[in-house]
């Protein structure tokens, strides 16, 4: 006799599929960058600051040069800001040099040079927001926390019809929603897969649903009353 599937069982199945397909997408198609191959929280911090409003392909060479010269919070805290600005200049937004030096000095003076491993202390550093803090916690410390940027917000709004009218960093409900969707294992691969799906397929102007592994999980458009 066929068993009845409850609504919550169906939702759990859907969630599991969503997680597994996202992880598989990352393993098969994910973008490989040097900051994705390290667990060093300082390197992840540097990468996240260099990636702000900057394409990853552009940031890669600068990231390598900055890390080769200043590989720890200790060395960065003593950096010559003018020299660091010159290194960052090809990316624009050279004020990030001062941000990096200031954060490093704070890490040295308040945390003895060790990057904190909790959200509260990370976000107490001037210039570190929720996304950067969670990137350090997830990619550096393997913690179960979500990464939500604008491309992930697009996946949630376009594919799962999550209603969000604010930028990702301001939308607390979106972060709560993302947290509930997290798998128990392979958090890093899942988070990076979601970022890559959003950036590579679920684009702002046009979505490549026909090539997307999430296509069959896409929820139907909600019906709005008149």
Binding site for ligand SF4 (CB under 6 A): 155, 158-159, 197, 201-202, 207-209, 212, 214-215, 218
Asked whether the beta carbons of 49 and 98 are under 8 A apart, the reply is no
**Min separation Cβ 213 and ligand SF4, Å:** 8
Nearer of residues 101 and 201 to ligand SF4, judged by Cβ: 201
Nearer of residues 125 and 159 to ligand SF4, judged by Cβ: 159
CA distance readout (Å), 79 to 73, 82, 90, 107: 10, 9, 18, 14
**Min separation Cβ 208 and ligand SF4, Å:** 5
**Min separation Cβ 29 and ligand SF4, Å:** 13
Nearer of residues 87 and 214 to ligand SF4, judged by Cβ: 214
Nearer of residues 94 and 215 to ligand SF4, judged by Cβ: 215
Asked whether the beta carbons of 146 and 193 are under 8 A apart, the reply is no
First to last CA, the chain: 42
**Min separation Cβ 225 and ligand SF4, Å:** 24
Q: How far apart are CA 142 and CA 31, in angstroms?
A: 19
Asked whether the beta carbons of 56 and 78 are under 8 A apart, the reply is no
Nearer of residues 131 and 156 to ligand SF4, judged by Cβ: 156
Asked whether the beta carbons of 203 and 33 are under 8 A apart, the reply is no
CB atoms within 10 A of CB 226: 2
Tokens of 195: 């970022």
**Min separation Cβ 91 and ligand SF4, Å:** 28
Q: How far apart are CA 210 and CA 48, in angstroms?
A: 31
């Amino acid at each position: 006799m066929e068993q009845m599937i409850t609504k919550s069982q169906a939702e759990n199945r859907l969630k599991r599929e969503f997680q597994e397909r996202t992880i598989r997408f990352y393993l098969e198609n994910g973008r490989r960058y040097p900051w994705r191959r390290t667990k060093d929280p300082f390197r992840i911090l540097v990468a996240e600051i260099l990636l702000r409003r900057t394409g990853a392909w552009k940031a890669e060479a600068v990231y390598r040069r900055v890390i080769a010269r200043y590989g720890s919070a200790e060395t960065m805290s003593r950096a010559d800001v003018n020299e660091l600005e010159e290194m960052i200049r090809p990316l624009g937004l050279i004020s990030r040099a001062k941000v990096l030096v200031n954060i490093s000095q704070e890490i040295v003076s308040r945390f003895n040079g060790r990057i904190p491993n909790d959200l509260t202390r990370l976000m107490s550093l001037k210039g570190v927001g929720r996304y950067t803090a969670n990137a350090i916690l997830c990619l550096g410390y393997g913690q179960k926390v979500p990464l939500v940027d604008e491309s992930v917000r697009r996946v949630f709004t376009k594919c799962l019809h999550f209603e969000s009218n604010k930028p990702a960093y301001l939308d607390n409900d979106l972060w709560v929603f993302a947290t509930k969707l997290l798998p128990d294992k392979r958090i890093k691969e899942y988070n990076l897969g979601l970022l890559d799906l959003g950036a590579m397929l679920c684009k702002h102007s046009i979505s490549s649903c026909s090539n997307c592994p999430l296509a069959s999980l896409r929820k139907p458009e909600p019906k709005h009353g008149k």
